[in-house]
């Protein structure tokens, strides 16, 4: 999951915006046609409702929940869920298994067994030790026949990619149907589509250094778009930008400090080498996959991102910053 990347809301009257709560975080929308805002809201709301029904680990009626309790049987799935699962498996393969969707049971074992707002309440000891991921390669997806299967006892979680996918889908749908520029920000997973405003979309980067344990920054949106202090600002005209931060969704259990970005081989939260990693890429899915993997890879992340030629900003817990791939200084 991603840290809250906040926006400088442009003053130009040709841009209109809207913010609400969704998917356990915030959802922000900007469009370059104010008269299209209402229709854009409807498109975004529909896409968010669809991805939630398909991919939520906390809804018993979701397709993901049905797959996880299928007892190892192959079950029919919708085209949207098949796409979400295909994207998750691609992310796992592309990162050498770092972003593994079979971390569902691992998340349960460290206390992330309900909506995050409820997870942060209390400090009870863990009921069981952290559990390694089952292994993404064990998931079977037939995209042509629209069926999927996970081994009995394994549990899939799509939190690492589904939100970014929803941002990509929604931004493209709004731009295509309404013939305008669109920016969709889902808790820091940002996708843009259509013709950007002059100078591009201006985005304030949250470095994660002052992250709170309850993730309160996700709801921090004032008249200035939520930018606090001297947050660095970049602009993008296409593609996606995402920030991953271990501090945004963190909690304590039995005196242990825990967060939601796990090392699949151990099921334990990744060492906090970076307070936040921001990456720009061709899509929001690409950006979020890379930023999440960078948090997991820790000290080796800068070299890996440089090899991929991805513009990235890595902020350390002490506030110092390292950049790669032509990220602006």
What CATH number is given to the structural domain containing 291?
Answer: 3.10.520.10
Exposure pattern of 252-278 as b/e (b: 16+ CB <10 Å)?
A: ebeeeebbbbbbbeebbbbebbbbbbb
Distances (CA, A) of 263 to 96, 135, 153, 178, 305: 12, 12, 19, 41, 18
Residue 113 burial by Cβ neighbours in a 10 Å radius (0-12, 13-18, 19+): middle
Count of the separate structural domains present in the chain:
1
List the chain residues with pLDDT less than 50: 1-4, 6, 8, 10-11, 209-229
User: 220 CB contacts (<8 Å, ≥6 apart)?
Assistant: 4, 6, 226, 228
> What are the two backbone dihedrals, phi and then psi, of residue 10, each rounded to the nearest 5 degrees?
-60, 145
Distances (CA, A) of 318 to 155, 292, 322: 36, 20, 12
Q: How far apart are CA 49 and CA 233, in angstroms?
A: 31
Q: How far apart are CA 192 and CA 144, in angstroms?
A: 29
Cα angle for residues 87, 161, 28 (degrees, 5° grid): 125
User: Can you read off the two tokens belonging to residue 132?
Assistant: 């390694």
User: 266 CB contacts (<8 Å, ≥6 apart)?
Assistant: 130, 132
pLDDT of residue 234: 93
User: 133 CB contacts (<8 Å, ≥6 apart)?
Assistant: 100, 102, 103, 105, 106, 262, 264, 265, 267
pLDDT of residue 122: 64
Phi-psi region of 325 (alpha: psi -120 to 50; beta: other; left: phi over 0): left
Q: pTM to 2 decimals?
A: 0.87
pLDDT of residue 125: 64
28 in helix, strand or coil? strand
CB 44 within 8 A of CB 53: no
147 in helix, strand or coil? strand
pLDDT of residue 226: 33
Q: Cα 294 from chain centroid?
A: 13
pLDDT of residue 251: 58
Residue 115: how many CB atoms within 10 A of its CB? 12
> By residue range, what is the domain housing residue 169?
1-329
């Amino acid at each position: 999951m991603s840290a809250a990347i906040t926006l400088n809301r442009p003053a130009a009257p040709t841009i209109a915006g809207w913010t609400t709560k969704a998917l356990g975080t915030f959802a922000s929308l900007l469009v370059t046609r104010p008269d299209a805002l209402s229709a854009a809201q409807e498109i975004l709301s529909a896409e968010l409702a669809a991805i939630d029904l398909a991919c939520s680990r906390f809804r018993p009626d979701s397709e993901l929940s049905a797959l996880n309790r299928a007892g190892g049987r192959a079950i029919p799935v919708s085209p949207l869920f098949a796409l979400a699962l295909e994207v998750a498996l691609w992310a796992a393969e592309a990162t050498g298994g770092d972003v593994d969707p079979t971390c569902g049971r691992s998340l349960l074992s460290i206390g992330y067994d309900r909506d995050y707002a409820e997870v942060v309440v209390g400090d009870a000891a863990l009921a069981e030790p952290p559990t390694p991921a089952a292994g993404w390669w064990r998931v079977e997806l037939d995209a042509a026949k629209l069926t999927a299967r996970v081994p009995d006892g394994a549990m899939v979680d799509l939190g690492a990619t589904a939100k970014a996918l929803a941002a990509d889908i929604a931004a493209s749908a709004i731009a295509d149907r309404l013939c305008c520029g669109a920016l969709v920000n889902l808790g820091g997973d940002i996708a843009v589509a259509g013709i950007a405003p002059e100078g591009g979309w201006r985005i304030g980067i949250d470095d994660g250094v002052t992250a709170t344990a309850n993730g309160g920054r996700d709801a921090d949106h004032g008249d200035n778009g939520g930018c606090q202090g001297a947050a660095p600002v970049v602009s993008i005209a296409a593609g996606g930008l995402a920030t991953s931060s271990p501090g945004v969704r963190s909690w304590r259990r039995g005196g242990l400090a825990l967060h939601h970005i796990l090392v699949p081989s151990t099921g334990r939260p990744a060492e906090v080498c970076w307070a936040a990693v921001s990456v720009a890429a061709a899509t929001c899915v690409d950006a979020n996959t890379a930023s999440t993997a960078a948090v997991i890879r820790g000290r080796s992340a800068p070299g890996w991102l440089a090899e991929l030629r991805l513009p990235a900003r890595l902020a350390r817990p002490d506030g110092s910053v390292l950049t790669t791939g032509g990220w602006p200084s």
